[in-house]
Structure 1
Amino acid sequence: MFSEIGQLIFDNEAVAKTSDFTMGLEIEMQRVDETGQLSQEPYPAAAGDERINPWITNDFLETMSEVVTPPAAHALDAMHYLFSINNALRTALSPGELLWPLSMPPRLPKDTSKIPLAKMGPKKEAYLKEWLKRHGFSEGTPCGAHINLSIDPHVFNLVYDNMHDRFQSKVELQNYLYAKIAQGFLRYRWVITYLFGASPIAEENYFKPGEGPKAPIRSIRQSSHGFGNKFHGDYTTVQRYVDRIEQGVSEGKLISDYEFHGAVRFKGNTNLKQLPKTGVEYLELRMLDLDPSSSVGIRTNTLRFFRLMASYFIMSPALKPEEVNKVVARADDMNEEISTEHPNDISAYQASARAFLQRLEMYADRIQLGPEYQEELEDLMDRVENPLTTPSAKLITHLKNGSLTEYALRRAMRYQQSALQSIRPFKGFENNQKLSPSQLKHQLFKGSWEPDNDKDQE
């Protein structure tokens, strides 16, 4: 089960560190009015300046709010940050405004010129205008949940100290392990789409007449009907990842390296060319639809599952370099097939999904993870065996005249009312100051909750 690196970690009783990832979350949601139309209200003043506030910002449209958490040492800490910042955004909304809880946008206006692009400064606004020309309005409107994941430094130190002969520098090891995890998530992205896909239909005016799926599917957003550039990355190594994106920019297939929206992105140096030399610092995982059963779009158990997967990928044998692109291309085809299946149907890949979850269960047993992981795996296995328990299948039971608007508004109003009953609404963004992670923590929690300090990044 273990690779050479995995065995080294296991023998040194450091397995816990491989699942002890630092996590940050980025959750996008559209602002809407009480009829389910994109909001005409200005950006909420109490949310601060969207151009400089790192914790509440905008993406693509002025109505597309993005909540960002600081890196946190534990899934529960990340969720506490997310709930608190999400509440801060909700209490900043204008009367009658709501946050749309679904990945696919509400009914879009026929005249989209009334919905302004995000006001993020001249450079970003020029990029968004060019993106709009190339892709069209609809394609930029789906929202999702992104998980940022970084490996505990103890893992790098242990492996590097024992494997000098294999890695010439710690940066080389860093890039190798992050590439290995990225390959794992891309290889099994189809499992995530099956288990967590939650965008079965599109509302009015998203597709042109005659386009789009003819019946509900598991995930429009994760399918070829979904968001973004269809440019394929190369995840064989970090250097090849960078070279491929730069090639895309030079050939005009990408506006800039920022436009590469693969399901996984290597993050670190903002100058992409320097990334292989300075080292990947974290992965951005971009394969989750919003979970409408949570007011913040994601659940703690989902984060645990992602941590378990990442830990398993660190400890398991790596793909051979010459196999990476072939395996990822096949996984992309499987993801397309799964994302376009009817939500109520048993997947064509049920047996493969079952086998993967069983392997994760064996791994969790071997490294003696807690009962919360076993419970989550049991729940997810139920989804594999019974597709009616998947998020998309549950959603289509709420369809009314082919629309989820009534359901989405009911959820949105409930979540909004709950936020407005907050005992101590957060006012820390109103003066437009840029809060550091430690300032944010102090102002958000004021001693009522103490997230782990060890991994705060200033």
Structure 2
Amino acid sequence: MAESRHSVFRQFAASDWGGFLKGVEKEGLRVDRNGFIAQTPHPEALGSALTHPSITTDYSEALLELITPVCSSTAEMLESLRNIHRFVQQNLGDEVFWPASMPCELDGDASIPIAQYGTSNTGRLKHVYRQGLAVRYGRMMQSIAGTHYNLSLPDSFWEIWKSALGDQQSMKDFKSDQYFWLIRNFRRRSWLLMLLFGASPALDASFVEGVRHELTRFDARSWFGEHATSLRMGDLGYHNNAQSSLNICFNKLSTYTQTLDRAIHTNWPAYEAIGTKRNGEFIQINTNVLQIENEYYSAIRPKRTTQIGEKPIHALESRGVEYIEVRCLDLDPFSPVGVSEAQVDFLDLFLLDCLLSESPRIDDAECSMLDDNYKDVVARGRNRELELCQGGKRTPVADAARAILDRLEPLAEVLDGFNGGEVYRNALSVQQSVLSGDSQVPSARVIQAMQASGQGHRDWGMEMALQHQNVLRYEGLAPEVQAAFAAASRESLAEQERIEASDTLAFSDFLERYLRS
């Protein structure tokens, strides 16, 4: 089956390969010149975090999120991302944009300001959701940053692909099934991305103050995992006990939305004990396992653009999957924009092969095994003795990684044949050189760079942040691009004012209506 899908792809795509559609959402903390999380409000020059199309905040007021539009090439996407960074860097004043996934110096929960989105009901809902994250998990976990990579294939591809496979479903159901086909294989192989792109092996001591852990002391101010690839995706990063029993099913759209919807409507006693209000103010949206869909932490999500007031589950159920969002990527601290061209091109190749390879349903036993493989690489991926469960037997992680890269070679040749050039073979070669030992995985590079500089996590992060800032400020923006960003900021602030002025419901009534919808 795997070969037949690859063969079908080669036959039809040669005449009409539509390419990839892609975008990125890149997070990062604003940090003061002492390497401490910024306590200042979201810069007004960056517009409204509620309504700006390219610049918003995630959990914290200090945690910027930069969003590109949908692009048809890696070059277009990275130029868009770089332009957003250039504009942001111009308007940070004395602050810097933190380059690492694990945060700068913190001083407990109180040092991490929760994002504010104004007085509108929509803005208050976003704030209350984040308050809920604070009371459920604490704020420390929410100071972590990452990159989310969004990928889809154009309608022209799906029309030909559906015809080539002889599928009789509606286009909506066909696309959703195919995206879940891709997602199942992603779950089988996502450990590889943690090995190749995990870049958070160290952290500031303030992040684990008073917390039991098994890290190794780097210096007086830093800890690191001796073989870790991504502390961000490990036990100290994005996790919570309530979600560990969810068993969200990624086999098909209907089971995914049903199990996720159940979590949103299942009461959790510990959250019920907290309540939804404190001193008359809302502190969480509800007392269920999940307040909303976005609270579920996963390495990948099926997505559909929502309409105003529409919940993500309802959008998926009514219009099907539109794109997939890869959420497990650490920031690349060596890149001024957190990602690289070779990385993006490799992700395209990797994800397309997930679509074209055999992808049976995942049962409970395989699901548990896949989770174990992922966790092992996150915690011990640089240990040469680490073995993963592959096909019912234990396989050294390096051998398992090489096997996946080897299987990508023919597809890279096919794509380069369609497009001309050697883009995908070059992107694959970069990762093959990492596995061969000619270069290092990012997590090893981070530790080596810290050791070579004699700096701990905070000081090394500050040095990289200043380097990136100098580069991006020096590059600047073309006058017309600068003007467009300034106009977008002004318009976003005006739009927030319009939204606030148009509200007629009390927030409690708005929230009740939202929960009923």
One of 131, 142, 145 as aligned partner of 1:143: 145
Shift of residue 213, structure 1, vs aligned partner: 3.2
Q: Residue in 2 aligned with 1:292?
A: 333
Q: 1: CA distance between counterparts of 2:3 and 2:321?
A: 21
> 1:351-407 CA deviation, whole Å, 9 max, x = no partner?
111111111113323554542322222221222233971111111123368822222
Amino acid at match of 1:331: L
Q: 2: CA distance between counterparts of 1:301 and 1:256?
A: 35
Q: Residue in 2 aligned with 1:196?
A: 197
Amino acid at match of 1:193: M
Q: Residue in 1 aligned with 2:378?
A: 339
Q: Name the % identity.
A: 25
> 1:88-112 CA deviation, whole Å, 9 max, x = no partner?
1111112x200010000011114x3
Shift of residue 61, structure 1, vs aligned partner: 0.4
Secondary structure of the equivalent of 1:397? helix
Q: Residue in 1 aligned with 2:82?
A: 83
Confirm or deny: 8 A CA contact 1:218 1:342 kept in the other structure.
yes
Amino acid at match of 1:262: S
Q: Does 1:360 align with 2:408?
A: yes
Secondary structure of the equivalent of 1:206? helix
Confirm or deny: 8 A CA contact 2:415 2:424 kept in the other structure.
no
Q: 2: CA distance between counterparts of 1:324 and 1:140?
A: 32
Secondary structure of the equivalent of 1:52? coil
Amino acid at match of 1:200: P
One of 317, 322, 327 as aligned partner of 1:281: 322
Q: 1: CA distance between counterparts of 2:67 and 2:456?
A: 29
Q: 2: CA distance between counterparts of 1:33 and 1:306?
A: 33
Shift of residue 294, structure 1, vs aligned partner: 0.5
Q: Residue in 1 aligned with 2:471?
A: 418
One of 347, 350, 354 as aligned partner of 1:306: 347
1:96-175 matches, cutoff 5 A: 96-110=94-108, 112-120=109-117, 121-163=123-165, 166-175=167-176
Q: 2: CA distance between counterparts of 1:352 and 1:163?
A: 30
Secondary structure of the equivalent of 2:207? coil
Secondary structure of the equivalent of 2:425? helix
Secondary structure of the equivalent of 2:175? helix
Confirm or deny: 8 A CA contact 1:236 1:325 kept in the other structure.
no
Secondary structure of the equivalent of 1:66? strand
> 1:280-315 CA deviation, whole Å, 9 max, x = no partner?
111111011000110000001111011101221222
Question: Which shows bigger deviation, 285-294 or 261-270?
Answer: 261-270
Shift of residue 432, structure 1, vs aligned partner: 2.5
> 1:147-176 CA deviation, whole Å, 9 max, x = no partner?
011112112111333455x33201111001
Q: Residue in 2 aligned with 1:350?
A: 398
Shift of residue 204, structure 1, vs aligned partner: 2.0
Q: 1: CA distance between counterparts of 2:477 and 2:193?
A: 36
Q: 2: CA distance between counterparts of 1:259 and 1:223?
A: 17
Confirm or deny: 8 A CA contact 1:6 1:314 kept in the other structure.
no
How many pairs are equivalent? 429
TM-score with structure 2 setting the length: 0.78
Q: Which runs of 5+ in 2 are unaligned?
A: 118-122, 217-224, 267-287, 388-396, 494-517
Q: 1: CA distance between counterparts of 2:439 and 2:11?
A: 42
Q: 2: CA distance between counterparts of 1:249 and 1:296?
A: 35
Secondary structure of the equivalent of 1:418? helix
Distance 1:432 1:396, change over 3 A: same
TM-score with structure 1 setting the length: 0.87
Greater helix share, structure number: 2
CA RMSD of aligned residues (A): 2.3
Secondary structure of the equivalent of 1:317? coil
Q: Residue in 2 aligned with 1:255?
A: 291
- Dislocated runs of 4+, deviation >6 Å: none
Distance 1:406 1:274, change over 3 A: closer
Q: 2: CA distance between counterparts of 1:88 and 1:324?
A: 47
Q: Residue in 2 aligned with 1:227?
A: 238
Confirm or deny: 8 A CA contact 1:269 1:280 kept in the other structure.
no
Q: Does 1:432 align with 2:490?
A: yes
Q: 2: CA distance between counterparts of 1:23 and 1:372?
A: 16
Confirm or deny: 8 A CA contact 1:148 1:282 kept in the other structure.
yes
Q: Residue in 2 aligned with 1:50?
A: 49
Q: Residue in 2 aligned with 1:212?
A: 213
Q: Does 1:11 align with 2:11?
A: yes
Q: 2: CA distance between counterparts of 1:381 and 1:82?
A: 27
Q: 1: CA distance between counterparts of 2:15 and 2:231?
A: 37
Q: 1: CA distance between counterparts of 2:124 and 2:472?
A: 34
Question: Which shows bigger deviation, 294-303 or 410-419?
Answer: 410-419
Distance 1:172 1:210, change over 3 A: closer
Amino acid at match of 1:135: Y
Amino acid at match of 2:116: K
